[in-house]
Amino acid sequence: MTSSAPEQSPGGWLGLKGRTCVVTGAAGDIGAEIARQLVEAGARVALLDRDEQRLAKVLADLQAGAGQAMALACDVTSTASVQAAADKVQAAWGGTALLVNNAAALYADALMDIALDKWNQLLAVNLSGYLLCAQAFGRQMIAGGGGAMVHIASISGSIPQPYSGAYSVSKAGVKMLSQLLSVELGEHGVRSNVVSPAMIRTQMSEQIYQDPAVRERREQIVPARRISTPADIAGAVLFLASERASYISGQEILVDGGLTQAWLSLIPRPGFQKEDAAGAVA
């Protein structure tokens, strides 16, 4: 009789123990949480960010928990800066097994008003930066016989987010970049996937949720009835990075509490009450 339980790997259920992982934008809440969960899974994590002060604090927190981590100042829009970081990771720990492309920027602008340099600046971080990191660390994965890339996008890559300048365009580009990487690098044993958050509570957005009325209205439109946290995003990243996702590539996981499935339920219908839903046909 064959057991239906998955075989346990030497590195634990996720199989990430001892793996060399790189997280960009690691000084932010999402990047820091991804790094924390990777360290807890036994991985060695290189933290990349251009905010050296905040990066040092994240590193100190990880090391206080006896995690194996290093912090590297890196501007993902610079080919030289990215390659220098990749070389340091290679020298310290050998080739990279996982890249988490997470560094991002967001500027509020109407398309009719945005200046071209500001448009290009956002694309340089949110899209071109992902490519530069995929190239530098992807070469290490190819040389090492495989690896995984997880790119943080957004539901605004599929659903337009107005007055956000190039943000939606950049996140849509991330999704296609990931799909192309999955096709071109698949023969080298490299997987590429996307995690797309919806509304999320971070230090950047927390001011919004301090208004109880706004928070409650937002929570009510999410089927899960809560706003996501960085831990929700990190959990999806670790799954896609793990051996449990070894045959998943070119895909996108929406971490949105069911929000993108709820649009039609938000459209008013004459004479329809929520309590009638159980017997409703259309």
Catalytic residues: 167
Are the beta carbons of 128 and 104 closer than 8 angstroms?
A: no
3-state secondary structure (DSSP) of residue 63: helix
Q: Compute φ and ψ for 262, nearest 5 degrees.
A: -105, 5
Beta-bridge partners for 72: 48
Q: What is the CA radius of gyration of the chain?
A: 20
Q: Is 191 exposed, middle or buried (0-12, 13-18, 19+ CB in 10 A)?
A: buried
Identity of the residue numbered 177: L
Q: Which contacts (CB < 8 Å, 24+ apart) does range 217-224 have?
A: 221/259, 221/262, 221/266, 222/198, 222/256, 222/257, 222/258, 222/259, 222/262, 223/257, 223/258, 223/259, 223/261, 223/262, 224/257, 224/258
